[in-house]
């Protein structure tokens, strides 16, 4: 049985029917991780711990105490702290770091226990590679080397959750967690032919998620189908008193609309999306968008129309400004968040130093990579006394306008459709010398984080070199279940998400 092609929705059925055990599934994926090292998708694997969890899952399944996802393996982005597996955020400064506790996401998905009665019972397969501290769009900023794209090893996997994306695309894990501060779930999902969702800000607890830009960071699932993402998101999100931005009512079943028609009244099964208004922002289809990406996203719009949706043109006039706004605000927050890595409390400390200031300086110089340093410098600069008004404050004001523009658009439509990125994956090394070139690739994803809206990436085609193309669906606040419904209905009528990367055995 090729379990790596099996959606977790079916895996759960096979486990419940005792057709396979969690131990067998876990061994299967650990074997694939071992054989698939060339992608550099994982930073830490611990066979013993994974199998220990699988044994617990099997006993829960045997005793009838299993939940929907018990026994299914999952890979975690290395930005979530985990007990037992190293937690480094792909940085040298945290090399070998062992956390004394689990992030809430890890606990929610992990083994139930007295302290964690609601754990979903999923088996942790290990920690996935990423851009250092989630800063990047290509996974080339990892201190542990880039992640290669399973569709073509000469291309980037996307970032910053590139390891999670490659792990699922190469069949090393059935599903994975990611985080998205400015596109880091959606863009690698698009580049690797996966489905991924960044929920509304506050849906998923940030406790134990190594912080990059706290007002933008949000975690979510990356998998093969919208249904799989709905299942994982339902288990990931919960109210968490340890995160002050965690929403009170996050314990939703995000699968609840999947197989329903958009309009519950006057149902026409041939047109399940009748009544849905899809907004196409004209700024998302303007100059800079690759022709084959535009073609595929337009074809997806047509496909939604055939399912009953109506298309309307909308406008998000400040789209271009999302790049300078994000690249002021995110570094500002990062410069503050990363000040904790000073060589005193945890992480790397320089071997030789003269005094405390020298120790700070040397530890940080040695521990951080070039992009992280660049952002700390930008962040401290825009926050400093003389420039605060000109940059940080100004950016905050435009952030507010960007959020308001979305609300104007949502008066005309229920979901917004556009590309995830201006192009498909690029060649390794092609943009890493020029940070601004790299930042421009985030143009369609940043604004949803600035506004705090949910958005997802759904496979919708391939370019002429057989590299995956993703479409982006953006919803209004807390409409995740509806977004997943639209994606699921699209996936019932298309097979882009079922295609396998050619380099994967």
Task: Write out the catalytic residue numbers.
Answer: 77, 160, 184
**Residues pairing with 473 in the sheet:** 417, 456
Closer CB to ligand GLN, 87 or 489, in the complex: 87
Smallest separation (angstroms) from ligand GLN to the CB of 218: 9
Please identify which residue in 21, 129, 137, 337 interacts with ligand GLN, judged by CB under 6 A. Answer: 137
Closer CB to ligand GLN, 184 or 472, in the complex: 184
Please identify which residue in 171, 182, 220, 470 interacts with ligand GLN, judged by CB under 6 A. Answer: 182
Check: CB of residue 383 under 8 Å from CB of residue 244.
no
Beta strands of 352-501 (E only): which ranges? Answer: 415-419, 455-462, 468-475
Q: Give the DSSP letter of residue 43.
A: E
**Secondary structure class of 97 (helix, strand, coil):** coil
C-alpha–C-alpha distance, residues 275 and 182, integer Å: 30
Smallest separation (angstroms) from ligand GLN to the CB of 137: 4
How many residues sit close enough to ligand GLN to count as binding (CB under 6 A)? 13
Told to check if 180 binds ligand GLN by CB under 6 A, we report yes
Applying CB under 6 A, the span of 181-189, 269-277, 298-306, 361-369 interacting with ligand GLN comes to: 181-189
Smallest separation (angstroms) from ligand GLN to the CB of 138: 8
Applying CB under 6 A, the span of 114-122, 130-138, 286-294, 467-475 interacting with ligand GLN comes to: 130-138
Closer CB to ligand GLN, 7 or 182, in the complex: 182
Please identify which residue in 120, 134, 147, 175 interacts with ligand GLN, judged by CB under 6 A. Answer: 134
Closer CB to ligand GLN, 136 or 208, in the complex: 136
Told to check if 160 binds ligand GLN by CB under 6 A, we report yes
Residue 155 CA: distances (Å) to CA of 3, 78, 158, 305:
26, 22, 9, 33
Q: Taking CB under 6 A as the rule, which mask of x and - marks residues 49-68 in contact with ligand GLN?
A: --------------------
Check: CB of residue 128 under 8 Å from CB of residue 43.
yes
Residues 317-356 that bind ligand GLN (CB under 6 A): 330
Question: Which residue reads 């009665």 in tokens?
Answer: 117
Residue 131 CA: distances (Å) to CA of 82, 135, 141:
18, 6, 5
Applying CB under 6 A, the span of 177-185, 246-254, 316-324, 405-413 interacting with ligand GLN comes to: 177-185
Smallest separation (angstroms) from ligand GLN to the CB of 462: 23
Check: CB of residue 109 under 8 Å from CB of residue 177.
yes
Smallest separation (angstroms) from ligand GLN to the CB of 328: 12
Closer CB to ligand GLN, 137 or 237, in the complex: 137
Inter-helix orientation angle 47-62/22-35, to 10°: 160
Which secondary structure element, helix H or strand E, spans residue 313, and what is its range?
A: strand 310-314
Told to check if 205 binds ligand GLN by CB under 6 A, we report no
Closer CB to ligand GLN, 421 or 501, in the complex: 421
Distance of CA 108 to the CA centre of its chain: 17
Please identify which residue in 87, 184, 225, 363 interacts with ligand GLN, judged by CB under 6 A. Answer: 184
Told to check if 442 binds ligand GLN by CB under 6 A, we report yes
Told to check if 135 binds ligand GLN by CB under 6 A, we report yes
Closer CB to ligand GLN, 198 or 362, in the complex: 198
Phi/psi at 280 (nearest 5 deg)? -110, 105
Smallest separation (angstroms) from ligand GLN to the CB of 372: 11
Q: What angle do CA 89, 246, 318 make, to 5 degrees?
A: 80
Applying CB under 6 A, the span of 176-184, 376-384, 468-476, 481-489 interacting with ligand GLN comes to: 176-184
Burial class (CB in 10 A: 0-12, 13-18, 19+), 390: exposed
**Secondary structure class of 279 (helix, strand, coil):** strand
Closest CA relative to residue 155, chosen from 467, 463, 427: 427
Closer CB to ligand GLN, 448 or 476, in the complex: 448
- At 270, list the tokens: 């041939």
Closer CB to ligand GLN, 111 or 425, in the complex: 425
Told to check if 181 binds ligand GLN by CB under 6 A, we report yes
Applying CB under 6 A, the span of 179-187, 250-258, 262-270, 402-410 interacting with ligand GLN comes to: 179-187
**Residues pairing with 77 in the sheet:** 128
Closest CA relative to residue 379, chosen from 425, 409, 335: 335
- Residue 342: how many other CB atoms lie within 10 Å: 18
Report H helices in 184-285. Answer: 186-191, 226-236
Beta strands of 62-210 (E only): which ranges? Answer: 73-77, 123-128, 148-149, 152-156, 176-179, 195-198
Residues that bind ligand GLN (CB under 6 A): 134-137, 160, 180-184, 212, 330, 442
């Amino acid at each position: 049985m090729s379990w790596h092609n099996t959606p977790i929705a079916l895996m759960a059925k096979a486990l419940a029917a005792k057709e396979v055990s969690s131990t067998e599934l876990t061994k299967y994926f650990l074997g694939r991780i071992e054989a698939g090292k060339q992608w550099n998708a994982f930073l830490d694997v611990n066979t013993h711990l994974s199998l220990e969890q699988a044994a617990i899952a099997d006993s829960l399944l045997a005793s009838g105490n299993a939940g929907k996802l018990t026994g299914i393996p999952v890979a975690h982005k290395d930005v979530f702290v985990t007990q037992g597996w190293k937690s480094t955020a792909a940085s040298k400064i945290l090399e070998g770091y062992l956390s004394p506790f689990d992030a809430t996401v890890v606990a929610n998905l992990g083994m139930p226990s007295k302290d964690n009665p609601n754990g979903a019972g999923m088996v942790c397969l290990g920690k996935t590679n990423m851009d250092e501290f989630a800063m990047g769009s290509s996974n080339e900023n990892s201190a542990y080397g880039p992640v290669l794209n399973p569709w073509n090893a000469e291309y980037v996997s996307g970032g910053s959750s590139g390891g999670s994306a490659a792990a699922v695309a190469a069949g090393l894990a059935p599903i994975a967690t990611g985080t998205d501060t400015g596109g880091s779930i959606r863009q690698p999902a698009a580049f690797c032919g996966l489905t991924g969702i960044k929920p509304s800000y506050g849906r998923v607890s940030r406790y134990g998620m190594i912080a990059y830009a706290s007002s933008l960071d949000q975690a979510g699932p990356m998998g093969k189908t919208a249904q799989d993402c709905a299942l994982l998101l339902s288990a990931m999100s919960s109210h968490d008193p340890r995160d002050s931005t965690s929403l009170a009512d996050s314990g939703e079943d995000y699968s609840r609309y999947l197989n329903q028609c958009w309009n519950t009244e006057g149902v026409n099964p041939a047109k399940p999306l009748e009544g849905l208004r899809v907004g196409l922002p004209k700024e998302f289809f303007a100059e800079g968008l690759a022709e084959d990406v535009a073609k595929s996203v337009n074809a997806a719009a047509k496909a939604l129309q055939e399912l009953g949706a109506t298309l309307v043109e909308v406008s998000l006039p400040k789209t271009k400004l999302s790049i300078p706004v994000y690249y002021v605000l995110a570094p500002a927050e990062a410069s503050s968040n990363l000040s904790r890595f000073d060589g005193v409390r945890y992480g790397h400390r320089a071997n030789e130093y003269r005094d405390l200031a020298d120790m700070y300086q040397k530890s940080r110089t040695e521990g951080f990579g070039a992009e992280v340093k660049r952002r700390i410098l930008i962040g401290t600069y825009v926050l400093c006394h003389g420039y605060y008004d000109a940059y940080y404050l100004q950016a905050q004001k435009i952030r507010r306008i960007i959020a308001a523009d979305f609300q104007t658009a949502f008066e005309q439509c229920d979901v917004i459709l556009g590309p995830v990125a201006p192009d498909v994956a690029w060649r390794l090394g092609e943009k890493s010398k020029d940070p601004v070139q790299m930042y421009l690739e985030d143009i369609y994803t940043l604004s949803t984080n600035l506004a705090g809206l949910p958005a997802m990436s759904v496979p919708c085609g391939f370019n002429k070199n057989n590299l995956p193309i993703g479409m982006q669906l953006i919803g209004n606040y807390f409409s995740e279940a509806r977004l997943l419904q639209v994606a699921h209905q699209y996936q019932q009528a298309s097979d882009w998400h079922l295609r396998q990367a050619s380099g994967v055995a």
